[in-house]
Amino acid sequence: MATVRQIAGVRRIAVLGSIETTKPDPKDIDMLVVVADDTDLAPVATCARRLQGHAQGFNGGAMFLADERGTFIGLTCHWKECRPGVR
């Protein structure tokens, strides 16, 4: 999470989901990252893949993206190379 915070254009980060509850066995780690409109999302996606690698003991998780107005942008792709014709 510290790496995501250092990316230019990242405005806020929130940890969500069962990891934030008192459940003895949380199922996943979800994050909401609020970014400026001109933010390069490739470094954010790289951090999301790293987080998933470190959290293999969990069933997964997701990094949700939103703009500064609170509009949902989408999810980061879990593939390193993500473009039409590849994935």
Q: CATH topology for 2-75?
A: GMP Synthetase; Chain A, domain 3 (3.30.300)
In three-state form (DSSP H/G/I as H, E/B as E, the rest C), the secondary structure along 6-24 is: CCCCEEEEEEEHHHHCCCC
pTM: 0.75
Structure confidence at residue 7 as a pLDDT band (50, 70, 90): very high
Task: Tell me what the pLDDT averaged over the chain comes to.
Answer: 81
Structure confidence at residue 80 as a pLDDT band (50, 70, 90): low
Angle at 32 between CA 65 and CA 50, to 5 degrees: 85
Helix ranges restricted to H, the chain: 2-5, 42-54
Token digits for 68? 């500064």
Structural domain boundaries in the chain? 2-75
